Amino acid sequence: MSTIQMRGKGNITLPVNLRNKYDLGEGDVFTLIDLGDGSIILTPQRSEVNRLGERISRIMDAEGLDLDDLLAGLDEERERYYRDRYAAS
């Protein structure tokens, strides 16, 4: 359990241990649900784009790839796709 205080303009600061635990940072968006009895639920909303980007980054790190490798692989895949679909037989 944590205690927080509302500041001017309605700002609250989440404790650092929660920000670290849930990888929360400046600009993150939250859903606020009013339960109607004085209780609220605050839920972080991570975009699917961010999740996928982080997943790609972890895979690239694990495979020892950099951005140039990724772009080269995309070019190769595009060429293969074109050959398979549109090249004269």
Per domain, the residue ranges of the chain are 8-45, 48-86
In tens, the pLDDT along 3-58 reads 889 999 999 999 999 989 888 888 888 999 999 999 999 988 877 787 788 889 98
The two three-digit tokens of residue 57, written as one number: 């980054």
pLDDT at 89 over 70: no
Q: Do 40 and 32 form a contact (C-beta atoms < 8 A)?
A: yes
Q: Taking Cα atoms as reference points, which of 48, 50, 30, 49 lies closest to residue 40?
A: 30
The Cα–Cα gap between 37 and 35 comes to 6
The Cα–Cα gap between 28 and 63 comes to 29
Q: What is the arithmetic mean of pLDDT over 60-80?
A: 93
The Cα–Cα gap between 31 and 62 comes to 33
